[in-house]
Amino acid sequence: MAQIKFTIAITTYNRLSLLKRAIDSAFAQTVPCEVVVADDCSSDETEEYIRSLGSSIVYHRNQSNMGHSATMNAAVNAASGDWIKPVDDDDYLAPNCIEEMTRAIALRPQAVICSTQAAQVDIKQVEISRTRKTGPGKVFYIPQEDIHYGMLMEQIPFGTPIQVAFRRDAFIQSSGWDSQLDVNFDDIDSWIKIAQFGDAIFINQCLAYRTVWPGSYNHKFSLQKRLDTNILIKYKIYSLVSEKYRSIIPSRQTIQDYLKLHWALVAVKQKQLFIAFKLIFPSVWSLAAWQLLVTAILSRKSQYSWLLQKRLYTNIWIMAKLYALVGNEYRYSMPDFQNFRAYLRLRCSWTACKQGKFISAIKIAFPSVLSIPAWKLLAKSALLAQQTKKPLVRKLVLID
């Protein structure tokens, strides 16, 4: 743990009272770390206050107002830590945040990004909600080759900057935050790029606090602009998905249709019915898009079992490899590969049921539950498992 140096990088602009709270939470950490404040050319008393703290803080001030993304890049450039914990001035950290992150990272040195649960609080610091857990246990690791698929399917959300820490060298190698996306998916765009260089860590413990403001800046973008940027981000993720998942990911068009349905629902909630009508057509006719939407909604309302999903898709990938190697003389008697895949979903769904994860079971089974050939394969495998006197493996050995 002592070999990992953390920098807490705080970005600020004209919010001195909130900035003091963020700085106090940085100084209150149970392990020592560097504190950097990057000031986007504030016109209040921010500069005087920071300079009054002396050498306890590394201070950078932009020469002009450059925006959030450029200020974050400046903060990282001013830092000397191996890992960066970004903090917006209106957010703050639990005292043990850096300690818990350091402990998890020490066990996974190939990691480049780490995310934790966060509490969303109002302006009076009253907790409104908490971000969901990801994966089993207190600390969960995801190999690099699985990250972008999980992001594409919205199974592993890294969250907002207050939840995330990243390795400084991976951030610099990824070219930092994109100012063209300022406060509109700029953080997610960065997580996508950083995740190309190593594994991810998720800590299922609330270690950070995010202030939720009514009428926040990013909500001032039109729904159409937010949709367009969301599609752009999804396409970036799509191009980075590992080859092992290529045979099972939805098409780009399906992803786009799903996003249109999602933002149409947002428009309905905001009572912008005309905008909702414009966004939803012709995507409303895509059954695959509706399936993705239902799956995403269920995922947000449950503690999603990432490990179960990972095992399922690993099994499908192995089955695809084996299927491709089967000789032509056996092809006529084999079920279609789509039926094999549906069978694996049913089997994994049954495992989820036995674990009491009924919502996960429903998500995994749909739409394979409608496949009669898959049910036949499941029944045959169950019968074979019960035939302990004459197992299939024994027959193959005797023939050999």
Domain count, the chain: 3
- On whether both 120 and 265 belong to a single domain, the answer is no
- On whether both 202 and 68 belong to a single domain, the answer is yes
List strand residue ranges (DSSP E) for the chain, in order: 6-12, 34-39, 58-61, 83-88, 92-93, 111-121, 127-130, 139-142, 164-167, 199-211
The model carries a pTM of 0.74
pLDDT at 340 over 80: no
Let me know how long the chain is: 400
- On whether both 190 and 255 belong to a single domain, the answer is no
Q: For residue 105, which of 121, 126, 81 has the smallest C-alpha distance?
A: 81
Q: How confident is the model at residue 393 (pLDDT cuts 50, 70, 90)?
A: very low
What local confidence, expressed as pLDDT, does residue 37 receive? 97
Q: pLDDT exceeding 70 applies to what percent of the chain?
A: 87
- On whether both 54 and 128 belong to a single domain, the answer is yes
Buried b (16+ CB within 10 A) or exposed e, 124-142: eeeeeeebebbbeeebbbb
Q: For residue 151, which of 248, 211, 237 has the smallest C-alpha distance?
A: 237
- On whether both 250 and 341 belong to a single domain, the answer is no
What local confidence, expressed as pLDDT, does residue 359 receive? 65
Are 363 and 299 in contact by the 8 Å Cβ rule? The answer is: yes
Are 8 and 26 in contact by the 8 Å Cβ rule? The answer is: yes
Phi, psi (degrees; rounded to nearest 5) at 246: -60, -30
76-126 pLDDT tens trace = 999 999 999 999 999 999 999 999 999 999 999 999 999 999 999 988 889
DSSP code for 264: H
- On whether both 196 and 76 belong to a single domain, the answer is yes
- State the burial class of residue 49 (Cβ atoms within 10 Å of its Cβ: 0-12, 13-18, 19+): middle
Are 199 and 110 in contact by the 8 Å Cβ rule? The answer is: yes
In a domain, 393, yes or no: no
65-75 pLDDT tens trace = 999 999 999 99
Q: Say which amino acid occupies 267.
A: A
Radius of gyration of the chain from Cα atoms?
24
Q: pLDDT exceeding 90 applies to what percent of the chain?
A: 54
> How many whole angstroms separate alpha carbon 224 and alpha carbon 212?
22
Residue of higher predicted confidence among 397 and 62: 62
**Average pLDDT over all residues of the chain:** 85
Q: How confident is the model at residue 400 (pLDDT cuts 50, 70, 90)?
A: very low
- State the burial class of residue 166 (Cβ atoms within 10 Å of its Cβ: 0-12, 13-18, 19+): buried
Q: For residue 145, which of 204, 77, 199 has the smallest C-alpha distance?
A: 199
Are 238 and 249 in contact by the 8 Å Cβ rule? The answer is: yes
In a domain, 121, yes or no: yes
- On whether both 127 and 161 belong to a single domain, the answer is yes
- State the burial class of residue 118 (Cβ atoms within 10 Å of its Cβ: 0-12, 13-18, 19+): buried
> How many whole angstroms separate alpha carbon 9 and alpha carbon 44?
20
Are 47 and 61 in contact by the 8 Å Cβ rule? The answer is: yes
Mean pLDDT of 127-143: 86
Q: For residue 142, which of 130, 153, 132, 151 has the smallest C-alpha distance?
A: 151
- On whether both 56 and 138 belong to a single domain, the answer is yes
- State the burial class of residue 221 (Cβ atoms within 10 Å of its Cβ: 0-12, 13-18, 19+): middle
Domain termination residue (choose one: 213, 228, 244): 213
Tell me the residue range of the domain where 61 lies.
Answer: 6-213
Q: How confident is the model at residue 390 (pLDDT cuts 50, 70, 90)?
A: very low
Q: How confident is the model at residue 186 (pLDDT cuts 50, 70, 90)?
A: confident
**Domain CATH code at residue 10:** 3.90.550.10
Mean pLDDT of 269-279: 89
- On whether both 57 and 191 belong to a single domain, the answer is yes
CA 142 from centre of chain: 11
- Tokens for 322, please give them: 């084996």
Q: Tell me how many helices (H) and strands (E) the chain has.
A: 17, 10
pLDDT at 235 over 70: yes
Domain termination residue (choose one: 169, 189, 213): 213
- On whether both 209 and 225 belong to a single domain, the answer is no
- On whether both 267 and 328 belong to a single domain, the answer is no
Phi, psi (degrees; rounded to nearest 5) at 305: -90, 90
Buried b (16+ CB within 10 A) or exposed e, 229-261: bbbebbebbbeebeebbeeebbeeebbbbbbbb
What local confidence, expressed as pLDDT, does residue 391 receive? 41
15-59 pLDDT tens trace = 999 999 999 999 999 999 999 999 999 999 999 999 999 999 999
